[in-house]
Amino acid sequence: MPLGRLGALLLLAPTLLLMLLIFVGPIGWFLSAALGELGSLSEIWEEAVATLGSRTILAAILNTNWIAFLVTLVVLALGYPLAYALTRAKGLAFTAILVCILLPYFTSVIVRTYAWMVLLGRNGLINQALLGLGVIQQPLELMYNRTGVIIGMTYVLLPYMILTLYSAMKAVDPRLLQAAEGMGASPFEVFRKVFFPLTLHGVVAGALIVFILGVGFFITPALMGGPGDIMIAMLIEREIELTQNWPVAALMTLVLLAVTLSLYAVYHRFSAERPGLAA
């Protein structure tokens, strides 16, 4: 039975209300209260130009986007085959893979990050094993640098990618693959010309989710990064906690929000054109 526009709206109403109450409302309140501290619009404008035009913020934004981009690539490279394995797995194997993917997801990010620190440290398990096996002579620098940030973030964000890809792959009609095979396509061609294009919207969706979550990361880069691995959320935190400079924090928050929303807009556009891409 088709649901009218009104019916759909009614079903959405509780969620929308909740979002307004606990998300949109507080953000609006924070922005108006914080920027209100500055007084007039021209003062807000001056502060905005000074803050957002500074080399520091630009460098932090570039840093943030670059790290999120690298993480997205790594997550995609790892997540795609894993998601595919998940679509092929049956019974116990399926459950086992799913549990492995989801279980860490229910553990606190801080705990997981500390666990990585135990593994990746200069005298951590990985280095000790490699040194013991004679694979390396000097401990690898796996932490307190960009590598550490990417490993840590990849691990936290991987489930989002896998689950998004899984649902896209599950939706591919297996008969299309059989048909391609039947017409003489090699397995690689089946993948490249049929399967991959049909899952491309999942790739885009997963990548955007990972990227959007990635630009807001705070704990992992703070704990596992080196001196220069500063992401914008860390600067926002300092403006709030340390210097109680709420107007500046609010402006930086707006930048982060703008990056996120414009990416979402891209995604929206992209998914609207999906039939053309998937065909």
Partner 1 sequence: MSGLILPRRTLLAAGLAMPFVKTAAAQAGEVIIRNPGGVYDDVMRKYVYDPFTQATGIKVTAVAATAAKLLAMFRANNVELDVIDAGDSILEQLRRQNALAPLDYGNWRWTKPDDIPAEVRLPTRAANMLYGSVLAYSKEAFPDGRHPKSWAEFWDATKFPGPRSLADMATGNPYLEFALLADGVPKDKLYPIDIDRAFRAMGRIRPQIRKFWDTGALSAQMMADKEVVLAGLWNGRVQVLMDRGAPLGIEWNENMIEVQAVGIFKDAKNVAGGQKLIDFMLQPEAQAGYCRDLTYGPTNKQAFALLPAEQLTRMPGSPASADKGFYKNIAWWEDNRDRVNRQWSRWILG
237 contributes a contact to partner 1 by CB under 8 A: yes
Tokens representing 125?
């398990």
33 contributes a contact to partner 1 by CB under 8 A: yes
| Rounded distance between C-alpha atoms, residue 113 and residue 152, angstroms | 7
- Only segment of 4-12, 59-67, 72-80, 266-274 that touches partner 1 (CB under 8 A): 59-67
Q: How far is the CB of 110 from partner 1 (least distance, A)?
A: 10
| Rounded distance between C-alpha atoms, residue 52 and residue 31, angstroms | 16
Q: How far is the CB of 12 from partner 1 (least distance, A)?
A: 21
| Rounded distance between C-alpha atoms, residue 158 and residue 160, angstroms | 5
226 contributes a contact to partner 1 by CB under 8 A: yes
Using the minimum distance from each CB to partner 1, give the nearer residue, 116 or 195: 116
234 contributes a contact to partner 1 by CB under 8 A: yes
Judged by CB under 8 A, which of 9, 39, 56, 192 binds partner 1? 56
C-beta separation of 252 from 57 below 8 A: yes
- Alpha helices (H) in the chain, listed in sequence order: 5-19, 25-36, 41-52, 55-88, 91-102, 109-120, 125-133, 146-170, 174-182, 187-189, 196-215, 219-224, 232-241, 246-272, 274-278
Q: Classify residue 226 by burial, with Cβ atoms within 10 Å: 0-12, 13-18, 19+.
A: middle
| Rounded distance between C-alpha atoms, residue 69 and residue 75, angstroms | 10
121 contributes a contact to partner 1 by CB under 8 A: yes
C-beta separation of 146 from 225 below 8 A: yes
Tokens representing 106?
């229910």
| Rounded distance between C-alpha atoms, residue 83 and residue 97, angstroms | 10
Using the minimum distance from each CB to partner 1, give the nearer residue, 11 or 21: 21
55 contributes a contact to partner 1 by CB under 8 A: yes
Using the minimum distance from each CB to partner 1, give the nearer residue, 62 or 96: 62
- Only segment of 27-35, 91-99, 166-174, 183-191 that touches partner 1 (CB under 8 A): 27-35
66 contributes a contact to partner 1 by CB under 8 A: no
223 contributes a contact to partner 1 by CB under 8 A: yes
Q: How far is the CB of 86 from partner 1 (least distance, A)?
A: 24
Using the minimum distance from each CB to partner 1, give the nearer residue, 12 or 22: 22
Within 78-107, which residues bind partner 1 (CB under 8 A)?
none
**CB-CB neighbours of 180 under 10 Å:** 18
Q: Give me the residues that bind partner 1 (CB under 8 A), please.
A: 22-23, 26-27, 29-30, 33, 54-56, 59-60, 63, 109, 117, 121-124, 143-144, 212-219, 222-223, 225-228, 230, 233-245, 253, 256-257, 260
